[in-house]
Structure 1
Amino acid sequence: MANTTSAQKMVRKIERRTAVNKSRRSRVRTYIRKFEEAVATGDRGAAQEALRTAESEIMRAVSKGVMHKNTASRKVSRLSKRVAALSA
């Protein structure tokens, strides 16, 4: 337990920030899951649309500091490869 008032305030701030970041991570996972479902159907158009929304959401997470830029780039790259594999 925090002893000083400043430490108690930091605990409150961290709890709020954690809740927000958890929500943002959840949004990213949701869009990635929607992409996975679109790929599973085999519809290339739907997969491309899902990729565009997922990429947007992933990059938003980067801008908010939830995810590292290189991690996001790796994820987007791997999703893009899967869309390319659909057309081949």
Structure 2
Amino acid sequence: MANIKSAKKRVLTQEKQRVRNAKAKAHYKKALKDFALAEADNDVAKAEESFKLAQKTLMKASSKNVIHKNSAARNVSRLEKRLNNLKSDK
């Protein structure tokens, strides 16, 4: 643990950021898993709903600088491609 007052503040701030980032990562990872499950079940309606949630959580995480904005956009693009393939198969 730090001895200097300003360093102690920085450690507390970093811990808050770590917790916030972990929560955001857990949210978007769960959303991605839900989409994958819907895709595996060939459930288009559930997949569309899961896609919207996944897109929202990824973009929110990128706006909070949890993940890079291009990484979020790439993941959304890939999800959308998988959703369109699922729709065309039906």
Q: TM-score range by the shorter chain?
A: over 0.9
- Identical aligned pairs, as a percentage? 39
CA distance in 2, matches of 1:17, 1:43: 37
**Paired position in structure 1 for 2:69:** 69
Runs of 4+, deviation exceeding 2 Å: none
Structure 1 residue 25 corresponds to structure 2 residue 25: yes
Deviation at 1:49, TM superposition (A): 1.3
Count of residues in correspondence between the two structures: 88
What's the Cα RMSD here?
1.1
CA distance in 2, matches of 1:35, 1:5: 46
**Paired position in structure 1 for 2:85:** 85
SS for the counterpart of 1:45 is helix
Q: TM-score, normalised by structure 1?
A: 0.92
CA distance in 2, matches of 1:50, 1:75: 14
Structure 1 unaligned blocks of 5 or more? none
Q: TM-score, normalised by structure 2?
A: 0.90
Structure 2 unaligned blocks of 5 or more? none
